[in-house]
Amino acid sequence: MARDPHYLALERMYLSAPIDAFYEPTIEVSESRAVIEIEV
């Protein structure tokens, strides 16, 4: 099943923030859910 282009765009937008170069988070956005993981 193909991922919705809208959710992929949201993920790319989030990951484009300069601070993410430091934290290197992973993100998955889907209908009614967003998961962001950052290693601590």
pLDDT score for 30: 93
Model confidence pLDDT, tens digit, residues 23-35: 999 999 999 999 9
Instruction: Give 3's pLDDT tier (boundaries 50, 70, 90).
Output: confident
**Residue ranges of the domains in the chain?**
5-37
Tokens of 3: 């991922």
| Mean pLDDT value across residues 6-15 | 96
Residue with tokens 């992929």: 8
| Mean pLDDT value across residues 3-19 | 95
Report the distance separating Cα 36 and Cα 14, nearest Å.
Answer: 10
